[in-house]
Structure 1
Amino acid sequence: MLSKLFGKTKSKTIEILAPLSGEVLALTAVPDEAFAGKHMGDGIAIEPSEGKIVAPFDGTVAHLIHTNHAIIVEHNSGLQLLIHIGINTVALNGNGFRAHVSSGDSFQAGDILIEFDRAVIEAAGCPSITPIVIANEDEVKQLEHIVSSGSVTAGAEAVLRAEMNE
């Protein structure tokens, strides 16, 4: 309350853990203009080394796409993160994807959200590169790319840091 009186407010900063293991790449490396051009939001991409998506923070499932190839997770601060497994994978109609959560479910950082079969994705001719983007950028004051290249382990290290608007 005193901070409001004196014009100082404390912002909410969220550390976003790597939701999958693999090689971190810039969004510009994604072979889809919607992601590469940041039309879906800012973030990173990861070329997966295993077929498992884990929760990047404690939160809830805002929306699980019915084909299980993409999920929007929400932090209690309101931050929403879209994790889109592969490119053009909606065409697989759920083949090769197994969700462990449903829309509305709560989860803890590191919980398995979705498992996927990279061989099924790649056999269908779809790239497995996975964009991870802020779905509600207008709520984010600043996004820091903590890791912009190299190998990461799911749930073990922060890859992005988001400072929320007041």
Structure 2
Amino acid sequence: MLSKWLGTKQGQPEEIILSPLSGKVLKLADVPDPVFSTMLREHGIAIEPVAGIVLSPVDGEVVAILPSKHAVVMRSINGVELIIHIGLDTVSMRGEGFHAHVQKGDRVITGQPLIDFSPELVKRKATSAITPIFIINPEVIDWLDIQFPDLAKAGVTPLMRIRLKH
């Protein structure tokens, strides 16, 4: 189990969020979409994917998967909620090129396949294949350390270290 509680000296739990995709790591501020680059930039990261498989970055539950299968909402076993939004303006693709391996309510483990997609099709039919990954309940976080390696490997590279509030 790679996503786990790590006891700290203060007794506060920590969680590690692994990269759900392989690819180039970007700051949300560098994403060519104002919603991601301005409103959410402090609580996430983005990946420019080199492969079309999204893996679960945490042990937890699928809270929602959009009908077009271009985004999934996850809740870790520790209560951190995050969205993985494949590409920009991909809702207009209406699910073309996306295949979900999970559905709402499924329990998942770190590294489990969530969604397959065609990065080439996304690049042709949407604005970009850049995939934002961001936390939607920052109120549970006491401290967040976002890592920015040049490249991430899906299911292996740690992207976020989170210290949760008591």
Judge same fold: TM > 0.5, yes or no: yes
Which residues in structure 2 correspond to 1:58-137 (within 5 Å)?
Answer: 58-137=59-138
Paired amino acid for 1:159:
L
Structure 1 runs of 4+ off > 6 angstroms?
Answer: none
1:50-75 deviation digits (Å, cap 9, x = unpaired): 00100111111011111100011111
Equivalent residue of 1:121, what SS?
Answer: helix
Q: Which residue of 2 aligns with 1:158?
A: 158
Question: Could you tell me whether the CA contact under 8 Å between 1:61 and 1:72 is conserved in 2?
Answer: yes
CA distance in 1, matches of 2:97, 2:42: 26
Paired amino acid for 2:77:
N
Question: Could you tell me whether the CA contact under 8 Å between 1:41 and 1:136 is conserved in 2?
Answer: no
CA distance in 1, matches of 2:98, 2:127: 14
The number of residues matched between the two structures is: 158
Deviation at 1:102, TM superposition (A): 0.2
**Alpha carbons of 1:21 and 1:54: their partners in 2 closer, same or farther (altered >3 Å)?**
same
Q: Which residue of 1 aligns with 2:18?
A: 17
- Work out the percentage of aligned pairs sharing the same amino acid: 36
Unmatched runs of 5 consecutive residues or more in structure 1: 1-7
Equivalent residue of 1:37, what SS?
Answer: helix
Question: Could you tell me whether the CA contact under 8 Å between 2:18 and 2:159 is conserved in 1?
Answer: yes
Larger Rg: 1
Deviation at 1:145, TM superposition (A): 1.0
Question: Could you tell me whether the CA contact under 8 Å between 2:40 and 2:134 is conserved in 1?
Answer: no
Equivalent residue of 1:91, what SS?
Answer: helix
Equivalent residue of 2:39, what SS?
Answer: coil
Question: Could you tell me whether the CA contact under 8 Å between 2:28 and 2:40 is conserved in 1?
Answer: no
Deviation at 1:38, TM superposition (A): 3.2
1:71-94 deviation digits (Å, cap 9, x = unpaired): 111111110011000000001011
Deviation at 1:123, TM superposition (A): 1.2
CA distance in 1, matches of 2:95, 2:117: 10
CA distance in 2, matches of 1:76, 1:156: 18
Give the superposed CA RMSD. Answer: 1.5
CA distance in 2, matches of 1:41, 1:66: 27
CA distance in 1, matches of 2:64, 2:162: 20
Q: TM-score, normalised by structure 1?
A: 0.90
Unmatched runs of 5 consecutive residues or more in structure 2: 1-8
Deviation at 1:41, TM superposition (A): 6.1
